[in-house]
Amino acid sequence: MVFQRLAIPAAKLLRSKSHIVPGPLLVTEHFFKVPLDYANPSAGSITLFGRSVTKHETPIFAPDEPPSPKPWIVYLEGGPGFGNREPQDHTLTRTALSRGYQVLYLDHRGVGLSTPVSTAMLARLPGGDGPNAVDVQANYLKLMRQDNTVRDCESVRKLLTDGLPEHKTRWSIFGQSYGGFISLSYLSLHPEGLREVFLTGGLAPIGKTADQVYEATFQKTIERNAAYYQKFPEDVEALRQIATHIEKEGGNQGLPLPGGGFLTVPRLLTIGIAFGGHGGFDQVHTLLVQLKASLDQFGFLTRASLAPLETFTAFDTNIIYAILHEAIYCDGPGSVSNWSANRVGQTLAQFSWLTRDNTSITSSTAPDQPLIFSGEMIFPFHFETYPELIPLRVVAERLANASDWPALYDVDQLRKNEVPVYAAAYIPDMYVDYAISKDTASLVKGIKTFETNTMHHNAVRAKAEEVFQNLFNLRDDVLD
């Protein structure tokens, strides 16, 4: 497989502004300009947004000379599709600052404040609302994957480290979930820019097809459903009551939602995506309690009960998560997702609701059998039920059938890797399968892993202190 390495120019700083927040922390907001397409720099540019943070200090005596800049560590958020929280709200900030870093929270291209992609924005691209709109929009979205995020990082690194001695121009990166996928692409594309790499739940399925990914994650999702109903057995009946109401009142299209789009039983069952994180069971249970209470008290679903459901998954405000989710598993030419999750799920009896066409899901399931939630999967019906995604149904179909994806990982480079890599792998992980993670770890020369069966995918937030302690132990401690 030919791996495409391109010339990376330094980013241009459009503007930056610093302010002090309680802590005290010095936070600087940066806007950078980088090429939209590094293979075709004349195709235009996009804006990247990031926040850097250092500890704010007021010395008693002015220093005799300016202090040397602290080494950078860059946090790469999960997703794809989500921007960063503010530094003062991020679990990494205190740990990184206490260890002598300055931190950069850089929004990936197309998300957060980095020229964020939306349905309206895509329609306003040159030609985005014309006869070739599907091609124009799909080709733009193809540039939003992890390979170009790596190039964006390199472009920003060259700007921020300009003028430093060569040995100080490398930086550290910390990749959570999809941010770990980016990190492994970084190790493949531009290892010369890296000092060290930290990964949490982000050992990407290198060498695996999308179908293999979903065959593994569906099984883990089935296990999590069993654990959920063991904790909340009353929700078997509650979910069936809610689903029956949706089918009766919404018909084939579903119940119209206050904010647009439709609530169908399949859409309701996708809230099982929360089962992959600490506290996810309780999130889903709370939502079902609200919906059931509305039905019990009023006989219909009130707006107040529907509001948490509408925003339970942020596909209307973070469309890249939905429209490019399977594309992050397409590694190189000839790799086609073809709605992999939908196809794999239809082969499993527990997810027979994926094969139903205008028939009742509740009446075709035994009354004493629970309806099974899906996990981190995207299905075609997402583009029929979410208002922001409905106009992109044809574009999503085009991307699902695309086969001209660039390569994301260079296995030969990973096998001879010289950059220190420290990874946390979670045995119960519902999103990034543990067995596949182990296969990936075996490809990366010199990697050190922390493995546990007591953490879920969002442990970097839910159990941050433990995660950071174990990762930095991998770096700093000695194994005799």
Domains annotated for the chain, with CATH where assigned, are 12-207+409-476 (3.40.50.1820), 210-401 (no CATH)
Angle in degrees, CA 118, 119, 123, rounded to 5: 115
Quote the pLDDT of residue 105.
Answer: 98
Quote the pLDDT of residue 232.
Answer: 98
Kindly compute the dihedral angle of the four CA atoms of residues 378, 384, 389, 391, in this order, to the nearest 10 degrees. 140
Quote the pLDDT of residue 221.
Answer: 98
- Classified as helix, coil or strand, 140 is helix
Quote the pLDDT of residue 358.
Answer: 57
Please report, in tens digits, the pLDDT of each residue of the chain (480 residues total).
Answer: 566 789 999 999 999 999 999 989 999 999 999 999 999 999 999 999 999 999 998 888 877 777 788 999 999 999 999 999 999 999 999 999 999 999 999 999 999 999 999 999 999 999 999 999 999 999 999 999 999 999 999 999 999 999 999 989 999 999 999 999 999 999 999 999 999 999 999 999 999 999 999 999 999 999 999 999 999 999 999 999 999 999 999 988 899 999 999 999 999 999 999 999 999 999 999 999 999 999 999 999 999 999 999 999 999 999 999 999 999 999 999 999 999 999 999 999 999 999 866 567 877 777 778 999 999 999 999 999 999 999 999 999 999 999 999 999 999 999 999 999 999 999 999 999 999 999 999 999 999 999 999 999 999 999 999 999 999 999 998 877
Sign for the CA dihedral angle at 426, 428, 431, 435 comes to positive
Quote the pLDDT of residue 437.
Answer: 98
Beta bridge partners of 452: 426
Residues with catalytic roles: 177, 429, 457
**Helices (H), ranges, 116-177:** 119-123, 133-141, 146-160
CA 90 to CA 109: how far, in whole Å? 20
Quote the pLDDT of residue 268.
Answer: 98
Bridging pattern class, strands 25-35 and 12-21: antiparallel
- Classified as helix, coil or strand, 335 is coil
The pTM (predicted TM-score) of the whole model is 0.96
